[in-house]
Structure 1
Amino acid sequence: MSTYVLVHGAWHTGALFEAVAQPIRDAGHIVHCPTIRGNNPGDPRTTGLDAAIASIAEFLDSNDLDDVILLGHSYGGMVITGVADRVPNRIRRLIYWNAFVPNNGECLNDMVPPHYVDLFDAVSSESPDNSVMLPFPIWREAFINDGSAELAQSSYDQLNAHPYATFTDPISLSANPAEMQIGKSFINCTEDTALPQSLGWHPRLSEKLGLFRLVQIPGSHELCFTDPDALAAAIMDAGRD
């Protein structure tokens, strides 16, 4: 039996991981799906990256979780990297699912193409709380391209605005991911076009982990909606000893 903590990406909450968590629980494991500070519907959208990281580190501490397999999806890769730097003694393995892998001093916007930065800047400038929301056409075509039109709409309706400071704040690390003495895995969904595949997740970002286990699986950036059972199986493969 293992303990998994699944950390969601931007615009999501932990509740949206529950369909993925259940098959892992059914296999005999413990699974937690916390929501990062700033991503609960009622949270202030002024949350920065340091506070977001602290919220998950505090979740591990307050629940006295040790020997954790900590997964981060997309933006969640920024968060789990910071958590691993702060409380490495609580973590057995990091799993990055099509996730950002930052080195010290990098922000998320350093790892996305310029047209995304321009989009996020424009959207946040029109928001009273500096939040960003992903336009539906991008969600439908690039994020959940393996789902039906109905699933794309119903899943989009569950998203909420994201605090933009977490994209622009640089991360502060005492060691880069490749230097961390923790097991690391990278799950790569091969049809993921949330980033252009010329600037894709793997191998551009995965190779920043140093030594890592690669698990590849068909699917989009939002496999948690389109095939949660397949994603759960990939997570257990990535998390095994």
Structure 2
Amino acid sequence: MATFLLMHGGGMGGWTWKFVREILEAKGHKVFTPTFTGFGERSHLIGRDVGIETHVTDIVNVLHYEDLSDVILVAHSYAGTVAPGVVAQAGDRIKRVIYLDAIIPYKGERIGSLLGFASEDDMIGLDAMLDAGEGPIGSGVHEQQRAMAKEHPHMMSAERQDWLLDHLSDQPMRATCCAIAVGAESITLPVDYIAAKHTIMNAMHDRARSLGWPVHDHPGDHAFNVGDPEGVADMILGIVS
């Protein structure tokens, strides 16, 4: 049986893995679903100094204090920016990495400008403001996702989408605008990429291929870990086996 550590996307939390976790655990696997500082049930800890390096530390500490080894590290969406730093610090505890329609950052990039939400100059300016103890604490990603879902509903039941949207929380602005210290190009462990068909992450799919990672296509949308947990779990287990 395998040990999985599932990392969530922007505006989400460990709760987003509820359905995938149930499936994997029912098959006898060990599953850990930590929440990054400033998200979900830890949203009260959001602050101007909370960024990607904080979230790397969150996961490295879970690996250490839970005495985990041979871990399958799974990164959804935003967590793709966290995975390289985790591998750099605790790669001896990780067996392989699976990206789920996740951001693939190179060293020095910033999420906001990488995804086209703002200019590089704007992101640099925001980063400097936060260093000075000024500027917005959160990025408003939860409201952005809710607005997008109204225009393009997720591929899931209305009831499940309501559950998903109701649970969203803000994302620290620091995580959105800070320069990424460790890029995905540094990962030497085996990495597979599961690409959703209906997503804004198409450029990331191309990056995965350019890095030589095997890419597995899923017919769903970016929230497929909630909309199709059975299919996502099957794909993860297929890769591991």
Structure 2 length as normaliser, TM-score? 0.84
- The aligned residue for residue 36 of structure 1 is 36
Give the CA RMSD over aligned residues.
2.3
Aligned-partner residue type, residue 58 of structure 2: S
- The aligned residue for residue 217 of structure 2 is 216
Count of aligned residue pairs for this structure pair: 224
Report the Cα distance in structure 2 between the residues aligned to 1:77 and 1:34, rounded to whole angstroms.
15
Correspondence 1:189 to 2:196:
yes
Displacement after TM superposition at 1:167 (Å): 1.2
Report the Cα distance in structure 1 between the residues aligned to 2:61 and 2:225, rounded to whole angstroms.
25
1:129 to 102, 119, 137: 137
Structure 1's unaligned 5+ residue stretches are none
- The aligned residue for residue 132 of structure 2 is none
Displacement after TM superposition at 1:90 (Å): 0.8
2:184 to 159, 163, 177: 177
Change (3 A) 1:239 1:38: farther
Same amino acid, percent of matched pairs: 25
- The aligned residue for residue 45 of structure 1 is 47
Structure 1 length as normaliser, TM-score? 0.84
Aligned-partner residue type, residue 167 of structure 1: T
Structure 2's unaligned 5+ residue stretches are 124-128, 130-134
- The aligned residue for residue 126 of structure 2 is none
Alignment check: 8 A CA contact 1:77 1:96 kept? yes
Match of 2:15, SS state, is: helix
Match of 1:6, SS state, is: strand
Aligned-partner residue type, residue 50 of structure 1: E
- What is the 5 A alignment of 1:59-208? 59-113=62-116, 116-117=117-118, 129-132=137-140, 133-135=142-144, 136-142=146-152, 144-173=153-182, 176-192=183-199, 194-195=200-201, 197=202, 200-203=203-206, 205-208=207-210
Alignment check: 8 A CA contact 1:214 1:238 kept? no
Change (3 A) 1:117 1:86: same
Displacement after TM superposition at 1:179 (Å): 4.3
